Amino acid sequence: MQEVRVRFAPSPTGTLHIGGARTALFNYLFARSMAGKFILRLEDTDLSRSSEDSALGILEGLSWLGLDWDEGPGKDGSYGPYRQSERLSIYKEYLQRLLDSNKAYYCFCSPEEIQQQREQARLKKLDYKYSGKCQDLSSEEAAQRLQQGEKAVIRLRVPTEGTTTVKDLIRGNVRFNNSLLDDFIIAKSDGWPTYNFAVVVDDHTMKISHVIRAEEHLSNTPKQLHIYEALNITPPEFAHVSMILAPDRSKLSKRHGATSVQEFRTQGFLPEALLNYLALLGWSMGEDLDFLILGEMVQKFQLDNVSRSPAIYDTDKLAWMNGHYLGITEPEKILSLIEDEAKQRGWLKNDNKEYFIDVIKLIHKRIKMLSEFWEHAEYFFADFSSYDEKGKQKYFLKGNSVEILTEVWESLEKIEPFNSEAIEASIRKKAEKMNLKAAELIHPIRLALTGRTKTPGLFEIMEVLGKNKCLQRIKTAIDYIKI
């Protein structure tokens, strides 16, 4: 049985976006579920637009997601190089095969001539197709013109009759009329191959068994099949995954919240959450499962369960899912993710790591993104001089708030040990003694200690803040109310 070998082949002309990450994930899951190999290839023949920064960003994004490749940049295998820019000699060999067998030919038509043909087609309201002007040039004449310094592209001879059938593992058989194609270019005048030719040679020489890619590449597949046939080599199996659309079913863009993997990381998303969400975009896990870690996805993944219908991107669901993963992540792991920024803010010091972890324990189940931690945790690390306006009107400036806070201050001073159980018992006892509901004490205390009306459990907050800080802030609130 042939070894399963799949590839993710991004172009390093931009960032690793949500669609590319999902394609990489589906390839990874299929490879791992079939005990196969996952290959990373950088398609960087667009030398003017490709950049090393972009390439590094893609590698870092995949590594952060946990999608480790078996062969590719940094992990050489038997079928490299894994950057197209380093494979020119391989492409030239296969181009020469087609020229020698008369399956391809040099075309000397100038850009001006091609533009003129396009304009004529437009005036006749026809789709442009190359006229075939250079089809019958002899190899001797072509060689002579090249020797004289004329520029030429290389075109593939394409049949004009019949149909080409793409056997797609997700979509079934998809037929294309050959009459819609022309003798398309497979190598540019500078000698570099076009996308369709390079990808065929790469997939063949890297022994790719299955090509799992985005639906937008389906229209390229007939051209690639003609190249496979001209080279007399067997194509891989194809599977084209559905598009990802915005909630209004328009093309997905940044305005819908779709962004690069690096930006998701900066915003405070966890890789486990992003992977889990990407898996839901076009793949049914069955059993109404929402949450699966990567290893569980590998066990369940089947191409049969990948939908041919467009997937709808939903930022709210992604945030909700990220909140779930933050809630089940160990506080120590969360600290490692935010440690650098915590030190930069001056919040994390050599002697307060345990305190910081205690704060995380109170907050991590209440936030959806790590970037929200700082706003939620601020009162644990810095004093404040203002209070929530509505809370101030409701809990400080009406009734007997000074009396309440004074009584509470006196009770707290006597508590030892200062833990949440003892604090709660004391405050509830004080409320009973003052003939008040416990909430009538809890709300002004919360506002005095945090400046806010919505926080984690008050008694747990007080234990973490400690007795001295609680007494200090209550005293500050009393003085504030008296002014």
Query: Per-residue pLDDT tens for 425-476?
Result: 999 999 999 999 999 999 999 999 999 999 999 999 999 999 999 999 999 9
Mean pLDDT of 226-230: 98
**Number of CB atoms found within 10 A of residue 381's CB:** 17
Q: Which of 253-267, 346-360, 370-384 has the lowest mean pLDDT?
A: 253-267
DSSP 449-461: HHS-S--S-HHHH
Nearest of 120, 17, 23, 27 to residue 69 by alpha carbon:
27
**What phi and psi values does residue 165 have, to the nearest 5 degrees?**
-105, 125
For residue 239, give the DSSP letter: E
Q: Which of 111-115, 149-153, 207-211, 360-364 has the lowest mean pLDDT?
A: 111-115
254 catalytic per annotation? yes
Give the pLDDT confidence score for residue 286 in this predicted structure.
65
pLDDT at 223 over 80: yes
Give the pLDDT confidence score for residue 48 in this predicted structure.
83
Q: What is the average pLDDT score of the chain?
A: 94
Active-site hit among 133, 254, 349, 437: 254
pLDDT at 255 over 80: no
Nearest 5°: CA angle at 414, between 408 and 418? 90
Residue 247's pLDDT band (cuts 50, 70, 90)? confident
CA distances from 430 to 441, 464, 472 (A): 9, 21, 19
pLDDT at 406 over 70: yes
One-letter amino acid at 312 equals I
| Per-residue model confidence as pLDDT tens digits over 7-27 | 999 999 989 999 999 999 999
Residue for token digits 């030190």? Answer: 343
Give the pLDDT confidence score for residue 257 in this predicted structure.
67
pLDDT at 342 over 90: yes
| Per-residue model confidence as pLDDT tens digits over 281-322 | 999 876 666 899 999 999 999 999 999 999 999 999 999 999
Q: Who wins on pLDDT, 28 or 122? A: 28
- Measured CA to CA, the distance from residue 124 to residue 118 in angstroms comes to 10
Sorted by where each starts, the structural domains of the chain and their CATH numbers stand as 1-72+242-328 (3.40.50.620), 88-241 (3.40.50.620), 383-482 (1.10.10.350)
- Measured CA to CA, the distance from residue 141 to residue 382 in angstroms comes to 81
Give the pLDDT confidence score for residue 288 in this predicted structure.
61
For residue 40, give the 3-state DSSP assignment: strand
Give the pLDDT confidence score for residue 367 in this predicted structure.
97
DSSP 255-322: GGT--BHHHHHHHT--HHHHHHHHHHTTB--STT-----HHHHHHH--GGGB-SSPEE--HHHHHHHH
Task: State pTM to two decimals.
Answer: 0.90
